[in-house]
């Protein structure tokens, strides 16, 4: 845990600050042998897009390890240590073969599992290839992403598949974005829902829909796969509950965007499913899927914005706004996004200088869960989510519900109603006690089954 600096207690007192550059090494260091690095290595991590693998190998860096990824002529994907075990030449300049890859320097030929198939410059009686291997990691392809497992072979889990892909009415774009900062400060953003009200609505104009300018009643709960936030907003005669999933250690399922004007119940549509994968301690990669919902046009009730629309006829969701540093510096100063918020914290946030408040409950809980699982792993235990099945979709819990609920008599009572509403809907989501075929519809029978506190 980082040591904390004392807060300043007078105006114009920066000179008197007791400097601390401490950051939370337990949660931010990701190299091999570090507590967090060993924890993250127990999971399959996406390392590249399938579409990136053509006739040339690609150099990648994952959790401080320099690797090369390629697809050989037989269609198999390999993830090998980048330096050839012969003389250290980078395999990014290697030749992709029908089977495996050959180093450009002396032709040493490696299979996708690191087996040396040939050392053509050596005499026939050489036994080097029989007793030496190139470093390699298991690789799998799933839904357009290349996953690698960098952990101990004996602890390799199944590669899970999430229920985000079980919807017939959505298509997904695959996206990859880079951030020059530590993975943790990027991932924590999704458990910090209060920033929607300020960064995305009140301070620089409405980037999604006006409803997010309303300050929500917020809570955070653990789930069987990690945690979720509960944010309930009063919007005219309706209550709007939105939750995001944090799937340990570094996966998020982001709920879709609503404008608070229509009605929906247990709406499981989401705008993205993505991982934040450390490149090293001071760089990270966001990689995953952005949802394009073809049942909704630009005028649909989800309020998708058109300023981020791409080549297709449909606007994209919340996962695309402000996620890169592509606009000019001045443009980003006038309308900053998430990318600017987490990158401007520096290569690694100085946790010793933080002053966390009640609205940071999600950040606090996320760090607590990570610390628990990191320490469990260090003691030889199996961390949460390493036993997920591969033969059935893993249930996620992000959702939206917007229904008419009359206002209570006082602001205090209405806020209590918001909390009760959020807890009851979420209880049913976690228990699976809701109609599975609504896809956002709000049937009266389902609404009448609720027993909310009276609006008095």
Averaged over 22-34, what is the pLDDT?
96
| pLDDT exceeds 90 at position 27 | yes
Q: What is the pLDDT of residue 291?
A: 76
Q: What is the pLDDT of residue 161?
A: 92
Q: What is the pLDDT of residue 373?
A: 98
Averaged over 287-297, what is the pLDDT?
65
Q: What is the pLDDT of residue 265?
A: 83
- Same domain membership, residue 213 and residue 341: yes
Does a structural domain hold residue 23? no
Inter-CA distances, 291 with 89, 145, 283, 396, Å: 40, 15, 25, 15
Q: Which residue has the tokens 């009640």?
A: 358
**For the chain, how many structural domains are there in total?**
2
Tens of pLDDT, residue by residue over 373-429, are 999 999 999 999 999 988 899 999 999 999 888 899 999 999 999 999 999 899 989
Give the pLDDT band (50/70/90) at residue 10.
confident
Q: What is the pLDDT of residue 326?
A: 87
Does a structural domain hold residue 413? yes
Q: How far apart are CA 100 and CA 406, in angstroms?
A: 65
| Inter-residue contact 30 to 347 (CB < 8 Å) | no
Range of the domain at 443: 163-448
| pLDDT exceeds 50 at position 369 | yes
Give the pLDDT band (50/70/90) at residue 438.
low
Does a structural domain hold residue 455? no
Averaged over 38-54, what is the pLDDT?
97
- Same domain membership, residue 296 and residue 179: yes
Q: Which among 101, 120, 155 is the end of a domain?
A: 155
Q: Which among 113, 133, 155 is the end of a domain?
A: 155
- Same domain membership, residue 204 and residue 97: no
Does a structural domain hold residue 276? yes
Averaged over 271-286, what is the pLDDT?
96
- Same domain membership, residue 220 and residue 186: yes
Q: Which two structure tokens, joined as six digits, stand for 61?
A: 């860096």
- Same domain membership, residue 234 and residue 103: no
Does a structural domain hold residue 266? yes
Tens of pLDDT, residue by residue over 117-137, are 999 999 989 999 999 999 999
Q: What is the pLDDT of residue 455?
A: 42
Q: Which among 130, 155, 180 is the end of a domain?
A: 155
Tell me how many degrees the CA angle 330-336-337 measures, rounded to the nearest 5. 140
| pLDDT exceeds 70 at position 444 | no
- Same domain membership, residue 167 and residue 150: no
| pLDDT exceeds 80 at position 35 | yes
Give the pLDDT band (50/70/90) at residue 365.
very high
Give the pLDDT band (50/70/90) at residue 202.
very high
Tens of pLDDT, residue by residue over 48-59, are 999 999 999 999
- Same domain membership, residue 194 and residue 79: no
| Inter-residue contact 408 to 203 (CB < 8 Å) | no
Give the pLDDT band (50/70/90) at residue 203.
very high
Q: What is the pLDDT of residue 320?
A: 64
- Same domain membership, residue 331 and residue 258: yes
What is the value of pTM for the model shown? 0.90
- Same domain membership, residue 305 and residue 252: yes
| pLDDT exceeds 70 at position 311 | no
Q: What is the pLDDT of residue 274?
A: 95
**Mean model confidence pLDDT for the chain:** 88
- Same domain membership, residue 370 and residue 246: yes
- CA proximity to 405, closest of 256, 235, 257, 266: 235
Radius of gyration of the chain (CA): 24
Could you tell me the CATH number of the domain that includes residue 114?
2.102.10.10
| pLDDT exceeds 60 at position 445 | no
- Same domain membership, residue 250 and residue 188: yes
- Chain centroid to CA 130: 41
Give the long-range contacts of residues 118-125, CB within 8 A, separation 24 or more: 119/86
Does a structural domain hold residue 21? no
Q: What is the pLDDT of residue 293?
A: 52
- Same domain membership, residue 247 and residue 223: yes
Q: What is the pLDDT of residue 292?
A: 53
| Inter-residue contact 239 to 418 (CB < 8 Å) | yes
Q: What is the pLDDT of residue 412?
A: 95
| pLDDT exceeds 80 at position 342 | yes
Q: Which of 86-100, 108-122, 153-167, 234-248 has the lowest mean pLDDT?
A: 153-167
| pLDDT exceeds 60 at position 259 | yes
Greater confidence (169 vs 163) lies with: 163
Share of the chain above pLDDT 70, in %: 87
Q: What is the pLDDT of residue 212?
A: 95
Averaged over 263-282, what is the pLDDT?
90
Q: What is the pLDDT of residue 297?
A: 33
């Amino acid at each position: 845990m980082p040591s904390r600096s004392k807060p300043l207690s007078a105006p114009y007192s920066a000179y008197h600050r007791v400097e601390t550059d401490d950051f939370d090494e337990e949660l931010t260091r990701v190299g091999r042998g570090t507590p967090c690095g060993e924890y993250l290595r127990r999971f399959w991590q996406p390392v590249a897009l399938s579409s990136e693998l053509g006739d040339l190998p690609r150099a990648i860096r994952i959790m401080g390890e320099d690797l090369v990824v390629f697809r050989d002529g037989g269609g198999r994907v390999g993830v090998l240590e980048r330096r050839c075990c012969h003389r250290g030449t980078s395999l990014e300049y290697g030749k992709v073969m029908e089977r495996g890859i050959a180093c450009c320097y002396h032709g040493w030929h490696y299979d996708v599992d690191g087996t040396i198939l040939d050392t053509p410059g050596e005499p026939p009686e050489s036994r080097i290839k029989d007793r030496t291997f190139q470093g390699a990691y298991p690789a799998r392809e799933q839904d357009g992403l290349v996953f690698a497992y960098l952990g101990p072979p004996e602890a390799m889990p199944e590669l899970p598949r999430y229920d985000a892909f079980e919807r017939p009415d959505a298509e997904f774009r695959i996206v990859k974005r880079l951030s020059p900062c530590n993975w943790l400060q990027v991932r924590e953003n999704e458990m910090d829902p209060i920033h929607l009200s300020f960064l995305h609505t009140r301070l620089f104009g409405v980037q999604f829909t006006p409803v997010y300018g309303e300050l929500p009643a917020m809570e955070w709960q653990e789930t069987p796969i990690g945690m979720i936030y509960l944010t309930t907003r009063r919007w005219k005669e309706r209550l709007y509950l939105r939750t995001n999933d944090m799937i340990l250690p570094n996966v998020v399922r982001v709920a879709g965007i609503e404008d608070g004007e229509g009605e929906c119940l247990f709406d499981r549509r989401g705008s993205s499913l993505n991982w934040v994968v450390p490149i090293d301690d001071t760089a990270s990669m966001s990689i995953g899927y952005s949802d394009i919902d073809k049942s909704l046009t630009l005028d649909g009730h989800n309020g998708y914005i058109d300023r981020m629309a791409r080549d297709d006829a449909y606007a994209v969701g919340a996962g695309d706004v402000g996620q890169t540093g592509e606009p000019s510096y001045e443009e980003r100063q006038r309308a900053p996004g998430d990318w600017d918020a987490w990158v401007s914290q520096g290569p690694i946030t100085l946790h010793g200088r933080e002053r966390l408040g009640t609205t940071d409950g999600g950040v606090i809980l996320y760090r607590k869960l990570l610390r628990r699982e990191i320490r469990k792993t260090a003691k030889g235990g199996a961390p949460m989510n390493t036993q997920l099945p591969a033969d059935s979709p893993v249930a996620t819990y992000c959702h939206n519900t917007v229904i008419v609920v009359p206002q209570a008599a006082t602001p205090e009572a209405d806020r209590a109603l918001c909390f009760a509403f959020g807890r009851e809907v979420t209880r049913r989501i976690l228990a699976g006690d809701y109609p599975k075929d609504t896809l956002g519809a709000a049937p009266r029978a389902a609404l009448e089954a609720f027993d909310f506190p009276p609006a008095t």
